[in-house]
Structure 1
């Protein structure tokens, strides 16, 4: 029996970091796909702005300000989602931070404190692991689930912009994806990773910024990516028809990774 035949009803999707950039576009696309959606962000003003933007009723869209490194907060929020919308069938681990280098001509390693390293790993990697751990049992029980981790080109190739903590955390997401895919595959739960390259958004700055002009020279298709393009792939991986795709990492880099 195909996953599309086993799965019925209105699926609930949880997107972390869903108030801006790629996460916001994934929330937008999932709503268009007919899912019930919950999302979290670290700033209350970002949550409010996103909720006002979508204007959806509370029985379709639920959000809150959560620090995903605070496991008790996350546990409470997941239980609230279950009470308001239903059991989570789709998880998108999108939340992430990438500190900027203070002095551009100095090495990343010399400017990265252990506290900064630990914070990035805690948000980008540990937060994803904790959420998978929380939602997987119910997915196993219902025999269906879709988990999508948002990685990065920086975790697949030599990082040209991001720091060592960001690159390590995103490389770790690729490994976590494969390990979780192996464990959950017999239960109808797929786990995949999307690795975007240079996607223009409010987080990456304008195209004319020096860092973006330099990045453009490395992209074979000759343009930057759009957050909507990542959301399209997330929509595909979240669908019931992708039950035979698991443990995969899909690069959205305009050819930069292949180059």
Structure 2
């Protein structure tokens, strides 16, 4: 089999960085797209290559179908396959906005960026995975998304992510006969400087919002993603997996 390829969607910054580095260590060639963070994407590519890996970066907005189609062609033209699609991209606004005060533009940004984008991506990539004989798709949610909880002030985002839970589980059933697993990971409230940090950076530090006591890191999330995309994880599909340290959204606050 050819060397596997992972597309880390929106992985140039944030939680996708440690996922990209981890999968590169596991032997994946890494494709990363960005909207505006070209410098960060180039830095990540350089770090992966200096460590002996192979990476490519692409500019594109996954909420736009034309961009998704173009980027999919770029990955396939270069490497001819996608073995893992990790959908870390997803806009969020920290400002609490009551539902009836939401503008059309913000609603579309939240829904298209967090839900429609995944639909666009899988429609391009699943046929490729089927031809390969299998693949791994990872979506991202928020704490307790599988319960479709109320989250006052964040109705558009939470509605999109709750919809993504059902989409993830439906796709998991539909694609199981093709050797494609589809799972959701949901991080806790992981914030800078820990999004792109290893677990060692959080050791000895306190975060009282997390029952485990320490801040969460990008490596915490990356460890779970690396497990889910492993070939021997083919019996796990349709799962919604918390990586939260026990954090729940009643502990959420805007700094």
TM-score by length of 1: 0.83
1:253 aligned to which of 241, 244, 249: 244
How far did 1:160 drift?
Answer: 6.0
Offset at 1:255?
Answer: 1.9
Offset at residue 200 of structure 1 (A): 2.7
Superposition deviation, residue 133 in structure 1: 0.8
Moved more, 166-175 or 19-28: 166-175
| Number of equivalences | 238
Q: CA deviation at 1:18?
A: 0.6
Instruction: Give the alignment partner of residue 130 of structure 2, picking from 127, 134, 140.
Output: 140
Query: What value does the CA root-mean-square deviation take over the aligned residues?
Result: 2.7
Match 1:114 to one of 94, 101, 104: 104
Question: Which residue of structure 2 aligns with residue 207 of structure 1?
Answer: none
* Deviation of the 1:46 alpha carbon: 2.9
Equivalent pair of 1:153/1:159 in contact (CA under 8 Å) = no
Q: Distance in 2 between matches of 1:20 and 1:160?
A: 26
CA deviation vs aligned residue, 1:69-109 (integer Å, no higher than 9, x gap): 221222121111112122111101110110231xx6xx532
Shift of the 202–256 alpha-carbon distance from structure 1 to 2, 3 Å rule, reads closer
Once the two structures are superposed, residues 173-214 of structure 1 have per-residue CA deviations (whole angstroms, 9 ceiling, x without a partner) of 21111010010001111000001111133598xxxxxxxxxx
The worse-fitting range, judged by mean Cα deviation, of 155-164 and 174-183 is: 155-164
**Take 1:37 and 1:162, find their aligned partners in 2: how far apart are those partners?**
36
Structure 1 residues 1-259: aligned runs within 5 Å: 8-43=1-36, 44-55=38-49, 60-101=54-95, 108-153=98-143, 155-156=145-146, 158=149, 163-202=154-193, 216-257=207-248
The farther-off stretch of 248-257 and 175-184 is 248-257
8 A Cα contact 2:141 2:165, kept in partner: yes
